[in-house]
Amino acid sequence: MDRAKRSLGEAVHYIDTDITTFDFSRAMEFLDKADDKNSDYKIVKDETKRHLLSIIEGIENKGKDTKDTIVGDPWKVADTGDYWARSYTKLMHNIGKMHDIQAPLQKKKYLHCSLIVTGGRKDKGKDSFDADEVRAIGVYKSNSTVYSHHIYLSHAEHHTSLEKSDRTIRLLDSDKIIKTVPLPIFDQNEADKHKRGLLLCFDPVISVEDGAYEMTFVDTIQDLLEPLYANGRDELVMSTSQAENGLELVELVLHLPKDDARFNSVHMMAKENAEHPGRIMNKNELLKYHKNAPHKMKTLGWVGENIPGNIIFGVDVFL
């Protein structure tokens, strides 16, 4: 094996896997079993395909793209309940526990966070919608070396399905892109099983001299806005639990299709009894996001300023 790698040189592509030897015949028999959509075989088969496609896409785009991508929804593996799923789930909990121990050593200042949700268009002749898109942008600065960063990808209290998540981490002063090693985790202190915790390990690490860095995530997710479509009410919220000293600016933005009559009267309202309610965006603030919105979308926005840490900041959305 080592001799083969030496002869191939830079043509070797590494796959992140624990597999050392493999019985391909038995693997194919396993993947060819019943395709019932509720079977464990179907779930494993779909996740395997997504993982392999992600590897192939990474090889094809090596050196061309600045994005890192998670394909599929690895947090759902626990739902299968088999031995490997239980072992994987335990590992995700242990990584979360490790982070809880180490996180207090890394102090970060949260400067600005934006959450931009774009509602999927309704499929013609169907009752279903295209997947929703969530773009989360955060700007951070640290007074010490930053080895990792813990975030949550898009989630809701109801059932959703993550199709993929793209991310780009960029140093603002030098415009340098920082690659990451992603570790899906379950937070030890979170009872909400719908949360998709992700620990990103920076490669290389971000030093004090690097200055502020920007993290951008684009999640493609099914059924995120289902409560709005079905019941005429939903919410956009952002947790500041990791922003120890609070956030200087939070912006919550929603794009919805103009050609859907149900959204004609859509509006935002401050959450009831909120200690830090925020305010509706003014025209200039809204224009910044509307001009970058997909074609034929209406844009709504909400702003929070000097938001303290360890709270849930958000806005209610009504049809």
Q: Is the pLDDT of residue 20 over 70?
A: no
pLDDT tens per residue across span 105-139: 555 778 889 999 998 866 555 555 588 999 999 99
* Proportion of the chain above pLDDT 90, given as a percent: 27
Neighbours of 208 (CB within 10 A): 11
pLDDT tens per residue across span 29-52: 665 655 555 555 565 666 666 655
Distance from C-alpha of 168 to C-alpha of 146, rounded to nearest angstrom: 16
Record the tokens describing residue 132, joined without a space.
């929703």
Min mean pLDDT across 46-55, 95-104, 227-236, 292-301 is at 46-55
What pLDDT is stored for residue 35 in this prediction? 57
Contact call for residues 233 and 319 (beta carbons, < 8 A): yes
**Residue 122 DSSP one-character state:** B
Contact call for residues 134 and 221 (beta carbons, < 8 A): yes
Average model confidence (pLDDT) across the chain: 77
280 half-sphere exposure, CB direction, 13 A CA radius: 9
**β-bridge pairing 196-206 and 146-153:** antiparallel
CA proximity to 301, closest of 249, 261, 223: 249
**Residue 207 DSSP one-character state:** P
Global confidence as pTM: 0.71
Q: What CA–CA distances, in Å, run from 127 to 124, 132, 226, 230, 265?
A: 8, 15, 12, 11, 21
- Set out the domains of the chain in order of their start, with CATH numbers: 1-65 (no CATH), 70-318 (2.60.40)
Contact call for residues 170 and 176 (beta carbons, < 8 A): yes
Neighbours of 197 (CB within 10 A): 22
* 208 Cβ neighbours under 8 A, 6+ residues apart: 142, 143, 144, 145
CA 170 to chain centre: 16
Residue whose structure tokens are 């079905």: 230
pLDDT grade for 251, boundaries at 50, 70 and 90: very high
Contact call for residues 154 and 160 (beta carbons, < 8 A): yes
